[in-house]
């Protein structure tokens, strides 16, 4: 398997893990457990961003095109309704 596909697969898996941590954190009442999971999430976010930067530098990641001002205004209007 090519490195590009492995990196992108890891990035996708990490994003899924971050969503799971978010769900667990908001449902956790125990302060110590909540703090521990937040620390794990923070570490995971750092890892994800570091890997993203590598992928971006190597050209493995193509960001979406920037939104036009018209598109931005349209979304603002829809959200405010």
**CA 49, CA 34: separation in Å to the nearest integer?**
22
In terms of residue numbers, what domain contains 51? 3-80
Q: What is the dihedral of CA 44, 46, 47, 48, to 10 degrees?
A: 80
Q: What is the mean pLDDT of the chain?
A: 93
| pLDDT value for 63 | 75
Residue 35 has pLDDT above 90, yes or no: yes
Decide if pLDDT at 60 tops 80: yes
Which H, E and C letters describe the chain, residue by residue?
CCHHHHHHHHHHHHHHHHHHHHHHHHHCCCHHHHHHHHHHHHHHHHHHHHHHHHHHHCCCCCCCCCCCHHHHHHHHHHHHC
This prediction has a pTM of 0.72
- Write the pLDDT tens digit of every residue in 9-25: 999 999 999 999 999 99
Residue 37 has pLDDT above 90, yes or no: yes
What is the total count of domains within the chain? Answer: 1
């Amino acid at each position: 398997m090519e490195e590009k596909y492995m990196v992108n697969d890891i990035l996708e898996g990490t994003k899924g893990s971050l969503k799971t941590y978010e769900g667990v954190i908001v449902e956790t009442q125990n302060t110590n457990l909540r703090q521990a999971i937040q620390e794990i999430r923070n570490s995971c976010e750092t890892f994800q961003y570091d890997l993203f930067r590598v992928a971006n530098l190597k050209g493995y990641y193509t960001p979406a095109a920037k939104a036009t001002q018209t598109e931005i205004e349209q979304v603002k209007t829809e959200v405010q309704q």
